[in-house]
Amino acid sequence: MSRPASRNSWAWVPSLYFAEGIPYVVVMLVSVVMYKRLGVSNTEIALYTSWLYLPWVIKPLWSPIVDTIRTKRFWIVSMQLLIGAGLAGVALTLPGPDFLKYSLAFLWLLAFSSATHDIAADGFYMLGLSTHDQAWFVGIRSTFYRLAMITGQGLLVILAGYLETATGLEPVRLAIEADPSATTVLASHPDSVAVPSGAQELKLTTLPAGLTMGIETVPAATADSLVSFAREWNERNGFVSTEDPSDTAERTQEPSWWSRVVSAPLERFLRSTFGAETADDADGMSGNTALAYVYLQGSIPDGESIVVNLSREEGDASVRLVQGSRIVFDQSNATRPAVLAIQLDPKLDTGTAAEIVGRSGNIPLAWSITFYVLAGFFVVAFLYHKFILPYPPEDVPALPDDGGVLAGFIETFASFFRKEGIGVAVAFLLLFRFAEAQLVKLASPFLLDSQQVGGLALMTGEVGFAYGTVGVASLTVGGILGGFLAARNGLKYWLWPMVIAINIPNAVYVYLSFATPESLTIINVCVAIEQFGYGFGFTAYMLYMIYIAEGHHKTAHFAICTGFMALGMMIPGMFSGWLQDIIGYDNFFMWVVIATIPGFIVTALIKIDPKFGVKEEHDQHPPDGDV
């Protein structure tokens, strides 16, 4: 049977680049939302998921292997099958113990497989299409790569959110009324709360059903003691997730030199200077504080747990849930109540009301099903591309005539670093997105986090729509507009507007962190503004990488640029969660605005030919890389 040297490009280009985008967005962005819903701290989320950038950082190091061993077609279909296996591995490990350690191992497999798939797909694109078709389809492939981002950040997160809700119990509601004439009745000790047993079906209940609080202020010590009691009770009875067991050995060892000399003193300074403020006012008084209970009626099946996420969903923001935003019920604590601490704003001087809602769901199961769906998609993609991809005659192992693979490899790298002004160029690649690299790791956790820690308390599906659908659509529109204007007037003409666009809109998160709006419309508009600016400004970054890569070894030098691009996202992202945990969301987003300064400085130092991009830009599109 003859193998077709070519096929209709519409049959494989869109599907190939859709398949290229999905694993990247899953590893880099969807995993952040998933781990947040599974109760992993911001510090760990930012650190571990930033390490997952490493395969894209070092991708140029093994690109010659893909080029010299087997065909690009072989690597594409093999990596798609391996990506499907990695996704299934994540799905398999999420419901079990030590899910963080094992799921990260499979995400590493996904990251390396995805980076290798990128190399092969971009090479196959150039081999399977004529020069004319390459230029014509560059917009198509970019569109389907963006659709993959919308699918990952939007539809997949919305699916997981729906499954979270569908696998849960009926929501539990606690109505709270702040009344100037009321006297707050202190709750009895939780040991005295009799949790009903023998119920036919599981049901969440609050005690009391409704809580009335006076608006008088109380001594800060009194309020703190109630909040501390709630926290200690929940921790002692297993309602609050414990530390990841994999960390235990490291935490019991003698602190390292780095910890003693650098990180610990820096953390103490940041906490004392910028740490999140308490609700106490100047005279040592705090808003009135009361306790309430939530308990589970019925029996939990063996080995299962029920996670309840509680937040204020309606009413006045002056009513805050300060303890008990995430409660885990299992067989060990099912006969005891979890304790909630509710605190009023000390400045409250009139009556008001709010409602705290607790929603449960089997979060590990919901995300596991989502990843099984993804794994199934890649099995289908593997089978489809195995039969549909053409067999270009040029798709053969690119073995050098003299066998000097190593010498050619070294010369390729050396010639890159001999380019004029390469030091400033590398600094630009590393620092242009210094602020954005930190923001992107904490944007979704900020939207998901409870109001008691400064978040917006959105549901998983709402985040999927805001950041994954509205955000990605705005990003795409900004990118299209940026490309059109750059092609019209050149990169140098639009450089500074694009630098401003990628940095200044970060300030919308400062507004969101201080105003904490409840309107989804306002939140979506803010996300759209920031993502549109990022898409518009990122055009300058991509075009500058093309500008640097011009000359001999253009493809390899562009791959090196993408490595520096990934490194510029990886390193700032690693410490962003640690920093936010210390100084809180409001101070963190102010720091993000300050962190835009290095991007402006390196932009002022680079030199660009004013004619670059005016006419030839459309013929020099780079392979779609990580954004």
CATH classification at residue 536: 1.20.1250.20
| pLDDT tens readout for residues 149-179 | 888 878 888 898 888 888 788 888 999 999 8
Reported confidence tier of residue 623, pLDDT bands at 50, 70, 90: very low
* Contact (CB, 8 A) for 119 and 66: yes
> Closest Cα partner for 386 from 74, 14, 48?
74
DSSP letter at 176 equals E
Share of the chain above pLDDT 90, in %: 26
| pLDDT tens readout for residues 496-540 | 999 999 999 999 999 999 988 888 899 999 999 998 998 888 888
58 belongs to a structural domain = no
Which two structure tokens, joined as six digits, stand for 348? 């409250």
Domain end marker among 361, 382, 414: 361
- Per mean pLDDT, which range of 120-129, 180-189, 278-287 is the poorest? 278-287
> Is the pTM above the cut of 0.75?
no
Q: What is the mean pLDDT of residues 123-141?
A: 68
What pLDDT score does 261 carry?
56
pLDDT averaged over the chain? 82
Q: In what order do the strands lie in the sheet with 203-207?
A: 203-207, 289-297, 338-344, 319-323
Reported confidence tier of residue 250, pLDDT bands at 50, 70, 90: very low
51 belongs to a structural domain = no
Calpha distance 229→225 (Å, rounded): 6
What pLDDT score does 440 carry?
86
57 belongs to a structural domain = no
pLDDT higher than threshold 70 for residue 626: no
Whether 468 and 585 map to the same domain: the answer is: yes
Whether 531 and 602 map to the same domain: the answer is: yes
Calpha distance 262→386 (Å, rounded): 52
Which amino acid would we find at residue 113? S
pLDDT higher than threshold 50 for residue 208: yes
Paired with 205 in beta bridges are 295
Residues 6+ apart with CB under 8 A from 430: 564, 567, 568
Whether 504 and 551 map to the same domain: the answer is: yes
Which two structure tokens, joined as six digits, stand for 70? 């087997």
What pLDDT score does 257 carry?
55
Q: What is the mean pLDDT of residues 386-408?
A: 71
What pLDDT score does 360 carry?
85
Whether 212 and 99 map to the same domain: the answer is: no
Q: What is the mean pLDDT of residues 111-118?
A: 91
Using DSSP's 3-state secondary structure scheme, residue 607 falls into: coil
50 belongs to a structural domain = no
Calpha distance 491→541 (Å, rounded): 10
Using DSSP's 3-state secondary structure scheme, residue 348 falls into: coil
Which amino acid would we find at residue 592? V
Q: Where are the alpha helices (DSSP H) in 311-362?
A: none
Whether 422 and 527 map to the same domain: the answer is: yes
Using DSSP's 3-state secondary structure scheme, residue 419 falls into: coil
Question: How far from the centroid of its chain's Cα atoms is residue 386's Cα?
Answer: 32
Calpha distance 246→252 (Å, rounded): 12
Residue 39 dihedral angles phi and psi, to the nearest 5°: 90, 15
Reported confidence tier of residue 111, pLDDT bands at 50, 70, 90: very high
**b vs e for 239-260, b when ≥16 Cβ sit within 10 Å of the residue's Cβ?**
bbbeeeeeeeeeeeeeeeeeee
Whether 409 and 308 map to the same domain: the answer is: no
Reported confidence tier of residue 255, pLDDT bands at 50, 70, 90: low
**b vs e for 466-504, b when ≥16 Cβ sit within 10 Å of the residue's Cβ?**
bbbbbbbbbbbebbbebbebbbeebbbebbeebbbbbbe
| pLDDT tens readout for residues 28-59 | 889 988 998 888 888 888 888 888 888 888 88
267 belongs to a structural domain = yes
The domain total for the chain is 3
Range of the domain at 2: 1-43+64-167+365-399
Whether 185 and 302 map to the same domain: the answer is: yes
* Contact (CB, 8 A) for 534 and 472: no
What pLDDT score does 342 carry?
92
What pLDDT score does 260 carry?
59
Residue 223 dihedral angles phi and psi, to the nearest 5°: -65, -45
Residue 209 dihedral angles phi and psi, to the nearest 5°: -70, -30
Whether 145 and 231 map to the same domain: the answer is: no
Whether 475 and 592 map to the same domain: the answer is: yes
Whether 18 and 162 map to the same domain: the answer is: yes
Residues 6+ apart with CB under 8 A from 397: 67, 68, 69, 70, 71
What pLDDT score does 480 carry?
80
113 belongs to a structural domain = yes
78 belongs to a structural domain = yes
Which amino acid would we find at residue 326? R
What pLDDT score does 96 carry?
84
Whether 318 and 249 map to the same domain: the answer is: yes
pLDDT higher than threshold 70 for residue 592: yes
* Contact (CB, 8 A) for 302 and 237: no
Whether 395 and 429 map to the same domain: the answer is: no
